[in-house]
């Protein structure tokens, strides 16, 4: 099998190593500075399409520096060449879902939400069922920070550790900056979750979600209540939660989509949902108040390794399906 890669940073480089170990050949590597093969520069970045010959799958691992348009354009252009795409970039799926929905069978997107848990695949399989509500923990970094602080460690120490482990963005930001830095990530993941769930006819765009950044007072309160607070996303036909710190509420088609630091003792379902450490979790409540069952998926949510293994599984599935009728 032959791979093309767009982005060769933390994820792209480790992914290409893993693909190499699995016997894949690398067709090209596109990065801002140009297009490469085996470390040799072949040309400018805008010429990447010339090097796509024989590529079976294109892997997209670029940061979201815009609303996802750049990633969307890459996906669209690979599809026009008949090449399926596996992506871990969240902007395209969270803001251009309407445009991509017709070609989802040619996109591996599991790594955009939930790291290695594959929770989006599970959610997609539940489409059409009588979903009453959905709750999720989709940011492993925030979950890890609050889990560790609850066990008695200081916020400063835990935040420094998340940077070292590569869970949070590296840099000089304060703990408040780091927490706020994760909120955009949650908004993008929430839009993807809602759209994939198919509970409503309408789709949403992450850019339309207005979230409230945390301020110093919020942080002080959060530290006092750390053991009972987790950042939870909920999609429900009921009204939002009044006891939420930070976050957002967005209403569409009779559904309330909300997220924030919630009190996990307020809703018994949260006891089943909240995972330890850096993990992510998804809970689907089926039938009125769960009369048809409550299902939970959990697993490692942050970090390069689970992301890469999810991307490799996606590629495998795309190649097995071989449905490349791209719309």
Which stretches of the chain bind ligand NAP, using CB under 6 A?
Answer: 6-12, 30-33, 45, 61-64, 70, 88-89, 166, 303-304, 307
Closer residue to ligand NAP, CB minimum distance, 258 or 307: 307
Contacts 24+ apart (CB under 8 A), 159-166: 165/303, 166/10, 166/303, 166/304
Closer residue to ligand NAP, CB minimum distance, 73 or 243: 73
User: Do you know the residue count of the chain?
Assistant: 327
Q: Is 197 helix (H, G, I), strand (E, B) or coil?
A: helix
Q: How far is the CB of 55 from ligand NAP (least distance, A)?
A: 15
Q: How far is the CB of 5 from ligand NAP (least distance, A)?
A: 9
Closer residue to ligand NAP, CB minimum distance, 88 or 274: 88
Q: CB neighbours of 116 closer than 8 A, spacing ≥ 6?
A: 299, 300, 301, 305, 306, 307, 309, 310
Q: How far is the CB of 53 from ligand NAP (least distance, A)?
A: 19
Which residue has its beta carbon closest to ligand NAP?
9
Query: CA-CA distances (angstroms) from residue 285 to 123, 130, 190, 237, 321?
Result: 11, 9, 17, 12, 30
Q: How far is the CB of 8 from ligand NAP (least distance, A)?
A: 4
Q: How far is the CB of 45 from ligand NAP (least distance, A)?
A: 6
Q: CA 56, CA 4: separation in Å to the nearest integer?
A: 8
């Amino acid at each position: 099998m032959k791979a093309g890669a767009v982005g060769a940073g933390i994820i792209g480089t480790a992914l290409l190593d893993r693909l190499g170990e699995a016997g894949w050949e690398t067709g090209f590597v596109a990065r801002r500075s140009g297009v490469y093969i085996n470390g040799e520069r072949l040309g400018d970045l805008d010429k990447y399409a010339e090097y796509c010959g024989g590529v079976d799958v294109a892997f997209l691992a670029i940061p979201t520096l815009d609303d996802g348009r750049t990633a969307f354009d890459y996906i669209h252009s690979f599809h026009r060449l008949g090449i399926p795409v596996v992506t871990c970039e969240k902007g395209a799926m969270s803001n251009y879902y309407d445009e991509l929905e017709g070609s989802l069978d040619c996109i591996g997107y599991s790594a955009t939400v939930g790291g290695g848990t594959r929770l989006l695949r599970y959610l997609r399989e539940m489409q059409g069922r009588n979903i009453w509500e959905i709750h999720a923990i989709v940011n492993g970094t925030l979950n890890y920070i609050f889990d560790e602080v609850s066990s008695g460690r200081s916020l400063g120490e835990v935040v420094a550790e998340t940077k070292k482990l590569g869970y949070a963005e590296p840099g000089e930001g304060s703990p408040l900056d780091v927490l706020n830095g994760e909120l955009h990530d949650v908004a993008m993941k929430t839009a993807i979750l809602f759209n994939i769930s198919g509970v409503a006819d309408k789709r949403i765009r992450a850019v339309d979600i207005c979230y409230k950044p945390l301020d110093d007072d919020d942080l002080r309160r959060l530290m006092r209540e750390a053991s009972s607070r987790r950042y939870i996303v909920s999609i429900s036909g009921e009204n939002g939660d009044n006891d939420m710190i930070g976050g957002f509420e967005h209403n569409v088609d009779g559904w309330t989509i909300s997220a924030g630091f919630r009190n996990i003792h307020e809703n018994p379902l949260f006891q089943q949902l909240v995972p330890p450490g850096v993990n992510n979790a998804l809970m689907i409540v089926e039938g009125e108040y769960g009369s048809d069952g409550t299902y939970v998926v959990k697993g490692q949510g942050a970090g390069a390794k689970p992301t890469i293994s999810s991307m490799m599984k996606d590629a495998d599935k795309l190649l097995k399906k071989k449905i490349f009728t791209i719309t």
